[in-house]
Structure 1
Amino acid sequence: MDPTLRIKIIAQLKDHMAELSPQMRTAAKYIVDHPSDFGLDPIRDTASKAKVSTYTLVNIAKKLDFSGFEDLRRPFRSALIEGASGAGNTDRFDQERQQGDLGKVFADSAENALSIVKRSLDRQQLSQLEAVVDMLIGARSVYLTAVRSSYAVAYYFHYVGRMALPSMQLIPRHMNSAIDDLNDAEPGDVLVAITVTPYSTETIKACEYAKKRGLKLLLISDSEIVSPHLQPEQMLVTSVLSTHHFGCFSGMMAVVEMLVAFLMHRGGQGARDRIASYETVRIENNAYWVAQKKH
């Protein structure tokens, strides 16, 4: 079997995403986003996870000139090198899992967090991360936007990242919209947008507006397919799979931490001096609590 067939199938799905029917688009997006699970699961499990019918999965296989679902799944199954559980102290987790309902929740959540951190980091390529950092450092202004749960990641990235990259601005500011704050942006500036399923209208509109104004776009998301018509210069994809209703951001935070490490390294002495100046300001203004001596 051609070892590159899985990659070719994913590329074909992405290229033709806009032409597919809504149900087939949903199925295609699932295959692109979860290639390992697709390679492991039988058709009914895949249909359940993707929230489509088994009929849709068969149809998408035939559209790609495969005889059926199993024929389409075979390259993904062959490409699997390791399971989805990730590294970790599985013996300890197995013990916890025997300690009742909360023990199972503990073990499942811990294994999931370790797994998505590993999956998210495995997806990153050094050459792309270098290109991302070059794009950020080379821009006059870097705008960073996210809303709702993704905002926590954006806030941390800005809070730490601005010490290495003073041009970084977190938007929207002062209850504005992100589009308002992009009004002064110039071609060549960069917008970093963070969004995960279900994608925020505000964030997608900000991305579209930024592209119209000539900004470069870095998208950090849980999928390579966010909007069929959105073409970012760079895209970092992470896993936010979770054992509960909301996404788990451990993997995305690990990738953001890596970006911060790159920026700090590339920032050199200037970054170190800015960190020291922030620390001095905090100390001078009693930002850190110190236990008072008893008299």
Structure 2
Amino acid sequence: MDPTLKTRIISDLKDRLGNFPGRLRTASKYIVDHPSDFGLDSIRETARKVGVSTYTLVRLAERLGFSRYDDLREPFRHALVSASAGLDHPEWIERLKESGEFGQVQAGASMNALAIVHRSLELQTPEQFQRVVTMLLEARAVYITAVRASYSMAYYLHYVGRMALPTLQLIPRHMNSAIDELHSAGECDVMIAITFTPYSRETIEACKFARRKGLRLILISDSELVSPDLSADETIIVSVLSTHHFGCYAGSMAVLDTLIALLVAQGGEAAKARIKSYEDLRRENQVYWVAQKKR
């Protein structure tokens, strides 16, 4: 089977998404966002997850030029089997499974986290990361925004990343909105937005406002299709597929660590000097408080 067929189908779906009627659009977005599930599940299970009829999925296959639904799904099944063939369970996972019911739950959670990190890192290309890092280093100011659970990742990126990139600004600050913080931003600036399904209305509005002001936009999300009328300069896709009943962000944290490492590497001696100054400051502060306690 042509190994590029899955990629070409996804590209075709993205291009035609806006022209499809409601249910076909919903099914198309599901395939783009959940290619692994689509390759694994039966047509009935996929229809149940999407919330459409099996007939809708058959119609979508026909609209894409396939004679049968299975012909549309097969490239996704093939990619799924190929990707998982080289993955082995570590020995410590097997030991957990043998340690009783509690260990089995722990083993399942551990494998879930490992799979999400693996999928998320596998999606990244050096070409895109190079474009992103160049964009960030050349910007006058880099704004980072997120809300709810995603805010923790934005905070982490800002807290650690500013040692390599001092132009990073976390918004909103205090009780403001992200839009308030972008009042003086312009074409020389970049905004990083982090949002995962269900996508934050506040974050989407901030992204649209930033685009209207001419900022370049980097989106970190589980989908390129966050909003029909929103496009980013770069979209970094991470996996959040989880066996839990809550979102799992281990993959996004791994991708953020990679991005920070690349910023440090490209920042050269200046970035290393800033990191050392932060470490020296923390060490001096610790020595000060130890001395205070001895008084």
What TM-score do you get using the length of structure 1 for normalisation?
0.91
- AA partner of residue 105 (structure 1): V
Structure 1 pair 61–289 and aligned structure 2 pair: CA distance change class (3 A) = farther
Counterparts in 2 of 1:92 and 1:281: CA distance versus 1, 3 Å: closer
Q: Which amino acid aligns with 2:139?
A: A
State the SS of the aligned residue for 1:185.
coil
Residues 110 and 60 of structure 1, relative CA distance in 2, 3 Å threshold: same
> What do the CA deviations read for 1:188-229 (whole angstroms, capped 9, x no partner)?
310000000000001000000000000000000011211122
Letter in 2 for 1:193: A
CA–CA separation in structure 2 for the residues paired with 1:51 and 1:114: 29
- The separation in 1 between residues aligned to 2:191 and 2:108, in whole angstroms, is 36
Correspondence 1:1-295 to 2 at 5 A: 1-80=1-80, 81-83=82-84, 86-89=87-90, 91-97=91-97, 99-286=99-286
After superposition, what is the alpha-carbon deviation per residue over 1:63-116, rounded to whole angstroms, capped at 9, x for unaligned? 212223212112222334132894541x54344335554333212111111111
Change (3 A) 1:203 1:24: same
List runs of 5+ in structure 2 lacking aligned partners: none
Aligned counterparts of 1:288 and 1:8: Cα–Cα separation in 2: 60
For structure 1, the residue ranges without an aligned partner over 5 or more in a row are: none
Deviation at 1:51, TM superposition (A): 4.0
Q: Percent identity?
A: 57
**Rounded Cα–Cα distance in structure 2 between residues aligned with 1:179 and 1:212:** 11
* 1:130-163 CA-partner distances (Å, limit 9, x unpaired): 0100000000000000011111111110001001
| 1:24-74 CA-partner distances (Å, limit 9, x unpaired) | 222212211222332232212323343433232222112212223212112
Residues of 1 paired with 2:83 and 2:39: CA distance? 11
The separation in 1 between residues aligned to 2:291 and 2:13, in whole angstroms, is 60
The CA distance in 1 between the partners of 2:30 and 2:140, in whole Å, is 37
Residue 167 of structure 2 aligns with an amino acid whose one-letter code is S
Using the TM superposition, name which of 127-136 and 266-275 deviates more.
Answer: 266-275
Question: Matches of 2:152 and 2:89 in 1, distance apart?
Answer: 26
Cα distance in 1 for residues equivalent to 2:222 and 2:118: 14
CA contact (8 A) 1:88 1:114 kept: no
Secondary structure, counterpart of 2:163 in structure 1: helix
Per-residue displacement from partner, 1:1-37 (whole Å, max 9, x unpaired)? 4443222211111112122233322221221122233
Contact 1:87 1:115 in 2 (8 A): no
Change in 2 beyond 3 A, CA 1:208/1:293:
closer
Give me the CA root mean square deviation.
Answer: 2.4
Number of matched pairs: 294
Amino acid at match of 1:249: Y
Q: Flag the 1:17–1:202 CA change in 2: closer, same or farther, 3 A.
A: same
Contact between 1:84 and 1:115, CA under 8 Å: does it hold in 2?
Answer: no
Moved over 4 A (4+): 84-87, 98-101, 287-294
Distance in 2 separating the partners of 1:146 and 1:35? 26
SS in 1 for 2:220: strand
What amino acid is aligned across from residue 156 of structure 2 in structure 1?
Y
Letter in 2 for 1:197: T
